[in-house]
Structure 1
Amino acid sequence: MATFALDHIAISVTDVDASVAFYKKVLKLKEIENTASNSKTRWMRLGDNKQLHLIPRPDFEVITNKAVHFALSTNDLDAFLKHLTELEIEYSDWKGTPNKDYVRKDGVNQFYFQDPNGYWIEINNAV
């Protein structure tokens, strides 16, 4: 039976330059070369050879809810929350309580915020 590992996450974005700037500024992701094609899709390094692909779709509208998200884990949740606050980026717990995090039943602390296109991002300390 085959085994699998996460390779990349791909999302459609209306303004690829604005999305790249957001992910660089907020998550400190580094842009890497798109080795797959000569398209305007831009790639960001997520760490451990994982990638986030930002696919330009100028007329695209994201319609999603918090249940559709991707999660990133950090060992310094407090520092990242301070960073979000300094950038004036709103975050919430699962229920949508502004500027509140949540401790799951398994003890993992988490919160959510959205990127410029409306995609939900969970940050947790499950490292």
Structure 2
Amino acid sequence: MTFELDHIALSVKEVDLSVNFYKTVFGLQSIKNTASNSKTQWLALTDTKQIHLIPRPELEVKTNKAVHFALGTPNFEAFIAHLKHLAIYYSDWRDTKKKDYVRDDGVQQIYFQDPDGYWIEVNNAI
């Protein structure tokens, strides 16, 4: 058997706020929710991968940095400049603010949170 990532689904308090965040931060585009007529919003991450934002107004997210999803970009420094322009707080793994971290394998990475508190890692692994 083989597997590949299909989508990331996140429960969010305010779907419009989260859609705006992912569009602004990552430049994602809305796509049709082909699964149902619900208020769940789908965003295209790549041609074949999506982020699904599921409205849950009563949501209370309890997570930590070890529970995160990671996105890679070849434009790591430009992305950091973009976060600074948006005034989005980011840190390294140890929570040193405005600091990237270089792993033992040479990959640079940063961490930040979305409006619901989900942790996101962005790295230059690709």
Indicate the TM-score class for this superposition, using the shorter chain for normalisation.
over 0.9
Deviation at 1:71, TM superposition (A): 0.2
**Where do residues 90-109 of structure 1 align in structure 2 (5 Å cutoff)?**
90-109=89-108
- SS of 1:58's partner is coil
Aligned partner of 1:52 in structure 2 is 51
TM-score normalised by length of structure 2: 0.99
TM-score normalised by length of structure 1: 0.98
Aligned partner of 1:10 in structure 2 is 9
In 2: Cα distance, 1:29 partner to 1:61 partner? 25
Give the letter aligned to residue 81 of structure 2: K
Give the letter aligned to residue 97 of structure 2: P
In 2: Cα distance, 1:33 partner to 1:123 partner? 26
The Cα RMSD (Å) is: 0.5
Give the gaps of 5 or more residues in structure 2: none
Aligned partner of 2:36 in structure 1 is 37
The ranges of structure 1 where at least 4 consecutive aligned residues each deviate by more than 6 angstroms after the TM superposition are: none
- SS of 1:34's partner is coil
- SS of 1:89's partner is coil
Give the gaps of 5 or more residues in structure 1: none
Identity of aligned residues (%): 66
Give the letter aligned to residue 85 of structure 2: E
Larger mean Cα displacement after TM superposition, 40-49 or 107-116: 40-49
Aligned length: 126
